Each structure stands twice: as structure tokens, then as C-alpha cells.
Amino acid sequence: MAVLDERDVAHAGTKTCNFRADDLQKSIDLRKSYESAMNVVSSEDQPFETTADGLIKHLVHEKMNTREHCIDAHMLFIKEGSRSGKSRQMSEELIFVAEGSGYDLHWDVKFDCDITYSWDWEAEPRRFEWKRGDFIYIPPFTIQQHFNTGTGEARLIKITNRIVKSMGFHWVDQLENAPGF
């Protein structure tokens, strides 16, 4: 059996494609759409959505015509004495407390990759108190739930990076719905 050299197999095959040309066209189309995209999204153009986590208002989302292409952001409204749903997602999340006070429960992921790879969540959550002006960090894979213990409505601005979603890993598990959903 003859040993083939790289130069003997480099031009083997008959299949063709337009992958690079398609990528170039997508880049051209993106730049054109970027020129017409919004720099400012008025409050009236930010849509509401009733979700399993509760009522939210999308501030920036990939489906909105904005120049922002890196993050999604929405405001979560939690009624006095109420709570959000309980969920976990693959990406990290940053939360700014715009109004109200309360606490978060976080069930951190625990994993082991010594001999076999295994993972689970802590049985008992960690509790974090928050108030207006605070930032809350949610690590990837952490189960989270938000509780409003203050007077009046709590408003949390939740920001996630789109990179995980863009990579095809937009993994979200809804473990418990908010009241009324």
C-alpha cells in the first residue's frame, strides 16, 4: 500500500460550498442594519412580557432593533411581599437593584471531575440581602430566586451576555414559576 503525502490528498474531493462568501455577505448585511439600528430605545418601545419569572420589561434584546449586540437586559418587577420564579441558566447574570429591597437565594453548582464528571446543586441555598443601588452577581449554572421584602414594588435590572446564547448554549431551566403565572 502506497503512503500518501499531504500534497496527494489536499485537492481530493469534488464538493464545493459558499461558506466564506456567505459569512462575508452576513457581515455586509450586519453593517447595513447597524447603521439603521437605534442608539436610544424609548421607554414606550421597550416591550413588556409576562414570564415564568414574573412581569418583565425588555430594555435591550437581540430581537429589538438596537446597536447593542453583546447583552440582553430586562427589568423584573416583583410585587410587595412576592417573589420571582426559580430558575438556572448557563450564563452568568448581573443584576442592578433599581428599586426596593429583599433577598436572593442562590443554590450554587457543585461539581467533581476527579475520576468521573458529576455535578449537582447545593442542598441549602445561600441568602444575599439587597437594597436599592446594589449589584447582584449570579454565577453560571446557579439556581436563583428573588424575594421582595420591602414596601412597594421591587425593580431589578437583569443583564446577561449574549455570547453563550450565540454559541448555541442558551440553556435555561425554569424550576418554579412566579405567583400568578
The C-alpha cell of 54 is what? 414574573
Question: For residues 174 and 87, is the Cβ–Cβ distance under 8 A?
Answer: yes
The Cα 102–Cα 95 span in angstroms is: 13
pLDDT tens figures, 58-95? 999 999 999 988 999 999 999 999 999 999 988 899 99
Lowest mean pLDDT among 53-57, 81-85, 113-117: 113-117
- With CA atoms as reference, report the closest residue to 144 among 94, 76, 83, 87: 87
Is 77 within a domain?
A: yes
Predicted local distance difference test score (pLDDT) of residue 82: 98
Name the average pLDDT for the chain. Answer: 91
Is 181 within a domain?
A: no
Residues in the chain: 181
Is 172 within a domain?
A: yes
Q: Is residue 8 over pLDDT 90?
A: no
Question: For residues 92 and 78, is the Cβ–Cβ distance under 8 A?
Answer: no
Range of the domain at 110: 17-176
| Degrees, nearest 5: CA angle 90-96-98 | 140
Question: For residues 68 and 62, is the Cβ–Cβ distance under 8 A?
Answer: no
Predicted local distance difference test score (pLDDT) of residue 181: 82
Mean pLDDT of 132-148: 96
Lateral strand order in the sheet of 86-89:
126-131, 101-107, 143-148, 86-89, 172-176
Write the CATH number for 132.
2.60.120.10
Is 3 within a domain?
A: no
Does pTM surpass 0.85?
no
Greatest pairwise CA separation for the chain in angstroms:
82
The C-alpha cell of 175 is what? 424550576
Is 8 within a domain?
A: no
SS3 content of the chain, % helix, strand, coil (to 5): 15, 45, 40
Is 2 within a domain?
A: no
The Cα 123–Cα 145 span in angstroms is: 14
In total, how many domains does the chain have?
1
Predicted local distance difference test score (pLDDT) of residue 78: 98
Is 1 within a domain?
A: no
